[in-house]
Chain A
């Protein structure tokens, strides 16, 4: 079980796709203008990531080393098309809203990266878990970034919830700054870069604090042993 703890710790925090590996930044920046947009692209990407990782792992004995990249891309492209069709059938408004970014999941380096680094030489269960963990980490960044940019840029939260959860969920939208008074810059591309940079800085700061604490603890321990 320890293996799975490591996998999830890596995906969600230590080796987070958006904040540490810096993979899949293009859709991350483009779609994180509202929380719901971010959440839905996160879910779509995670679905593809889990299925790709499991499939690559299951077929890894039959994959030719020299041909593995085209084979990965074939698997990813097929699965993305399936997810796109499912979105078109069951979340049509979201499909319209996310536009080109659903088919573009094919080009998200995160998926190819996990297939290459993890799934192509691990058993299927850890691989699927890695897909889930990395997908959840990616979704987490999309949701936090989308939420922050939506609050500051539009003055609302959960706008468009009905597109994801059905008609009744329209009431979930919260107006935080009444009268369309958001800071527009945050919704535009520069705001996306700046917000992500702030999140990365925060993560580095927290990681730095943690390392410092561990080092001082280790030093104290060593001191105590030396004294004892």
Chain B
């Protein structure tokens, strides 16, 4: 280190501000690390509670005895149609036997970007429920896929890939069996297709879905 201010390029005049900037950054990092330490446990609890709250609505009350939000595997786009990100699948069991799998499904063709859904499928292949997790559909029209805004998403309750047949998983306008949300045909089409695809995937991979060991990296 050059300590003579007049000689050499990195003079003290330049060094002091740089060191003080680095010190300030270190102080900021220390402050954040301390806050993180203090809040980490609470944040993790909040996240788990949030997931459980959503999952609970898709599971039979008292019908399972494991912790589905911890019994998770991760599916990649190559496996699950219509998604290219790794998405979690939560599994509910009773006395070790499979009850319901809750798939995270991404419908890529919403009106504004993709729609993230949770699709609960019972071991017999019927749907226990569908919920919209994340979307950017038009307020007042496409956002009627949220349960808080309309009951449309309940159309899928109890359906399976034989009820109706795969070819009839379309909106009524397209000649299928499902009412579309008025003013949001694109949104309705995207959701119906994504639910149908996840049912097909489930039918083909059911045993594998439940037997795959837990992926600890996903919470």
Contacts and interface: CB of A to CB of B under 8 A. Distances in A.
The secondary-structure label for the interface of chain A is: helix
B7 interface: no
Interface residues of B, number: 22
Contacts of A74: 21, 24-25, 28
A86 B40 CA distance: 10
A85 B28 CA distance: 14
B46 A89 contact: yes
Nearest to A76: B28
Interface string B39-73: 10011001101100000000000000000000000
B141 to A, nearest CB: 9
A184 B28 contact: no
Nearest to B140: A184
A90 B45 CA distance: 11
The secondary-structure label for the interface of chain B is: helix
B139 interface: yes
B43 A77 contact: no
A179 interface: no
Contact of B36 (A79, A85, A187, A188): A85
A92 interface: yes
B95 interface: no
Interface stretch (A6-14, A65-73, A117-125, A204-212): A65-73
Nearest to A81: B32
A184 B184 CA distance: 15
Residue of B21, B28, B47, B50 ringed by the most chain A CB atoms within 10 A: B28
Interface residues of A, number: 24
Contacts of B47: 92
B8 interface: no
A92 B50 contact: yes
A96 interface: yes
A86 B32 CA distance: 11
Given A62-B20, A78-B28, A85-B32, A187 B50 contact: no
B139 A82 contact: no
A75 interface: yes
Contacts of A64: 16-17, 20
A78 B43 contact: no
Nearest to A83: B35
A70 B28 CA distance: 13
A111 B159 CA distance: 53
Interface in A84-116: 85-86, 88-90, 92-93, 96
Given A78-B31, A78-B32, A90 B21 contact: no
A168 B17 CA distance: 52
B39 A89 contact: yes
Given A85-B36, A89-B42, A188 B139 contact: yes
List the 8 closest pairs (A to B, CB-CB), nearest first.
A78-B28, A89-B39, A92-B46, A89-B42, A184-B140, A64-B17, A82-B35, A88-B43
Given A79-B31, A88-B39, A188-B139, 6 more contacts: A64-B20, A74-B25, A78-B27, A81-B35, A89-B39, A184-B139
5 contacts: A75-B24, A78-B32, A86-B39, A88-B46, A187-B140
